[in-house]
Structure 1
Amino acid sequence: MTEDLVSNQADMIDQDARRAWMGTLAKAPRDRLEKALEQLEIPHYSLLRTPETGLVMARGRAGGTGQRFNLGEVTVTRCAVKLDDNTVGHAYVAGRDQRKAEIAALFDALLQTPDHHQALQGCLIQPLVREAETAQRATAQKAAATRVEFFTMAREDNR
């Protein structure tokens, strides 16, 4: 019975939305996640997979569209938590910050629950998304200011 409830709950969650908030949590600064955690009444949870650090092979493409090649290894920390209501949260974060991986996994689990979803979307996820977009625009503007336009003039032969 409990397994059916968990699988039905997982089916109801929009996987694209979950992928987006997991990416946002993974890229967020740890101090922002810690602050948001302090403002919540944290439900009891257990660690399904304690935070552990390993390596992942990053792949690239020549010219962005060409043949794939191994770019190098990236350090990643992963964690999985389970709330008392059997909701499971996962996180993979770049680097070795085990506490950040645990907090991100906890937020992933909480975002899957109706009790916390709207509040966390409003006070944590959406502000982080806006900040990331603002930072990306600033970087793009800085890069655009250094753009150089090259052109070639065709010279006609004098006969």
Structure 2
Amino acid sequence: MVMQLNARRTDDTVARQHLMATAAVATLDELEQAVARLGRPACQDLRAPEIGLVMLRGRMGGDGAPFNMGEATVTRAAVRLETGEVGMSYLLGRDPSRARLAAVIDAVWLRDSALVETVFLDPVQARMEADRREAAARSAATRVDFFTLVRGED
């Protein structure tokens, strides 16, 4: 029984990480539309959106000694729904409204993950996949296949 509970927590953790990663790249319009479709749930700010800095660290070759590469701005927010779920978000950049909306979506996901998947994750992932296909098509148009060139050795 303990093993099953730990496996479920791991699956939930992975799913929530996926939600947070998707929210981090969603546009303001996508976040606003999702919150509107979720019924604009009433919530209070536990941590009003605030902007700060994080230190970015790197490693040469992936296994070298760590070094400080620089700083990046992040915006974080935390909200509590009237039903008690607490949502939070950390986003790269300076966008308090996106951070708050992402936190609201996270909180609603804790209550009804299937609804958030339908209303938010599926549309954003479809847009991201379309963007990837478009970028791949643009780069494929400039691709040169050197094996089809005629050589002057005949």
Q: Is the TM value for this pair above 0.5?
A: yes
Task: Return the TM-score normalized by structure 1.
Answer: 0.74
Shift of 1:123: 2.2
Q: Secondary structure at the match of 2:123?
A: helix
AA matched with 2:110: Q
Residue 69 (structure 1) aligns with: 67
Aligned match for 1:120, one of 106, 116, 122: 116
Segments of 5+ residues of structure 1 without an aligned counterpart are: 1-10, 151-159
Check whether the contact 1:13–1:112 (CA below 8 A) recurs between aligned residues: no
RMSD between aligned residues: 2.5
What fraction of aligned residue pairs are identical, expressed as a percent? Answer: 42
Show the 5 A alignment for 1:1-159.
Answer: 14-63=12-61, 65-67=62-64, 68-114=66-112, 117-143=113-139
Q: TM-score, normalised by structure 2?
A: 0.76
Number of residues of Structure 1 aligned to a counterpart in Structure 2: 138
Map of 1:8 onto structure 2: none
1:45 Cα deviation after fit: 0.9
> Gaps spanning 5+ residues in structure 2: where?
1-8, 147-154
Aligned counterparts of 1:56 and 1:99: Cα–Cα separation in 2: 19
Per the TM alignment, residue 99 of structure 1 is displaced from its structure 2 partner at its CA by 0.8
